[in-house]
């Protein structure tokens, strides 16, 4: 009986060790893929934002992937929104006053800062800092994702035209068909697939 008990303990120990190694292996694999994603994003940013120093672009790529991961937003979606909104121009300001890479409105940034005590916002020009802009833009995408329960056409329409407009149409019709934002939604979703293909291609090489 004692010997049997010893065998059981040994099997549990071996199983636990194997499980631990398996979990550690999966964790390491995720880290490797994440690092590879950062390298791919860095390569994209180098082509799109050529006047920035390489070290700066590397940090920005890491920041983008980390923020997207933290808020459970697709990195490919973030890149496609940037491409559509600003064509990767960090300093651009629209005629409506939207600023930077993700064309964040100062009023939106102020609203997010009220919701999140850890995020501060004082002046419009802060949004021309790519790191700040990405933090607000990605947070806003996550907020819209939660608000519209992951419905991508609602999320993108609200990002483009404002959630107030989407909410009014949903309240009136019960269904939202993005006619006014159809072109925007289609462009972003098409670009998202292209960027995702680039990220997947890199991940498959690991």
Residues catalogued as catalytic: 85
Contacts 24+ apart (CB under 8 A), 154-159: 156/181, 156/184, 156/185, 156/188, 156/189, 157/181, 157/184, 157/185, 159/81
Torsion-angle region of 99 (φ positive above 0: left; ψ -120 to 50: alpha; else: beta): beta
Enumerate helices (H) and strands (E) in the chain, giving the number of each: 8, 0
């Amino acid at each position: 009986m004692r010997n049997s008990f010893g065998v059981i303990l040994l099997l549990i120990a071996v199983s636990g060790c194997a499980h631990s190694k398996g979990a550690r292996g999966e964790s390491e694999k995720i880290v490797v893929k994440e690092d590879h994603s950062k390298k791919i994003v860095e390569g994209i940013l180098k082509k799109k934002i050529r006047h920035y120093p390489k070290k700066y672009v590397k940090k920005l790529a890491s920041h983008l992937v980390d923020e997207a991961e933290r808020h459970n937003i697709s990195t490919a979606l973030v890149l496609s929104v940037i491409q559509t909104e600003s064509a990767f121009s960090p300093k651009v300001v629209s005629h409506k006053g939207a600023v930077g890479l993700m064309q964040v409105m100062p009023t939106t940034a102020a609203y997010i800062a009220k919701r999140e005590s850890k995020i501060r916002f004082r002046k419009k020009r802060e949004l021309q800092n790519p790191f700040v802009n990405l933090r607000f833009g990605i947070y806003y995408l996550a907020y819209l994702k939660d608000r519209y329960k992951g419905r991508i056409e609602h999320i993108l329409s609200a990002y483009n035209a404002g959630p107030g407009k989407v909410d009014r149409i949903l309240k009136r019709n019960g269904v939202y068909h993005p006619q006014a934002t159809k072109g925007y939604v289609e462009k972003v979703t098409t670009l998202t697939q292209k960027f995702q293909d680039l990220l997947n291609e890199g991940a498959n090489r690991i």
